[in-house]
Amino acid sequence: MTEENKLKASIEWEGKRAVFEGPPEEVWASINRFLSETHPQIASIADLIIKIDMGELLTKLKGTIRIDKDVGPVVPVDVDLGELADKDKVVLFLLLKRVAFKTGYIDKETAEVEEVTKESKVKTAGVVLSNLVAENIVQNIGEVGKKGIYRITDYGIEWFVKSVLPKMQSVSQ
């Protein structure tokens, strides 16, 4: 193992110190094991946190979205969005924004109501977004009293993958 592939991490707790050294994967596993043994509640909470793996997400979206080098993620022309509910279209648009942001094609993952309305082709996008915020699928990160600025939540991505993606994939096949 070369020095550049080696990770060294130390944890100090109640006057004790633990040092973990080795390949990053082994260090990560050792730290998790250490914390699970010393603070079992951390391990329990960690299992409840939604973690979105972008590589895994892109694999699931294969065939449903494409990435154009000039504009970022797009829905292929052979995928019929006409069967989707307005809620699904709005969430799809915000998911595309997140993917475009995470893959470096755009500089923000958020959108205002006007953009959501235009791009999702949902005339009642403002109402739909309010309902999605109440369901924790979308988050309004705008300042109080100003225009809403929306982004999809990790829960929203998980919901989309389980609830909407199967519908889209069955229609496109």
Q: Which domain holds residue 137?
A: 54-172
Site of tokens 């309004």 = 140
Assess whether 64 and 109 both reside in one domain.
yes
> Percent of the chain at pLDDT above 70?
91
Assess whether 77 and 129 both reside in one domain.
yes
134 and 149 within one domain:
yes
Same-domain check for residues 110 and 142: yes
The total number of structural domains in the chain stands at: 2
Dump pLDDT digits (tens) for 24-37: 878 877 877 777 77
In SS3 terms, 74-91 reads as: ECCCCCCCCCCCHHHHHH
pLDDT tens digits, one per residue of 51-107: 888 889 999 998 888 888 888 888 888 777 888 999 999 999 999 999 999 988 899
The pLDDT value given to residue 154: 95
**Whether residues 73 and 35 fall in one domain:** no
Same domain, 85 and 142: yes
| E strand or H helix at 17 | strand 16-22
**Residues 11 and 94 placed together within one structural domain of the fold:** no
pLDDT of amino acid 46: 65
Contacts of residues 153-161 at CB distance under 8 Å and 24 or more positions apart, as own/partner, are 154/50, 154/51, 154/52, 155/50, 156/91, 156/94, 156/95, 156/132, 157/52, 157/57, 157/95, 157/98, 158/50, 158/52, 159/91, 160/88, 160/91, 160/92, 160/95, 161/57, 161/60
In terms of domains, do 60 and 34 share one? no
In the prediction, which pLDDT does 167 show?
A: 86
pLDDT band at 1; cut points 50, 70, 90:
very low
Tokens 């475009």 belong to which residue?
Answer: 100
Are both 62 and 40 inside the same structural domain?
no
Pairwise pLDDT comparison (47 vs 54), residue with the higher score = 54
Q: Does 78 share its domain with 106? A: yes
Query: How many alpha carbons lie under 13 Å from residue 173 in its C-beta half-sphere?
Result: 8
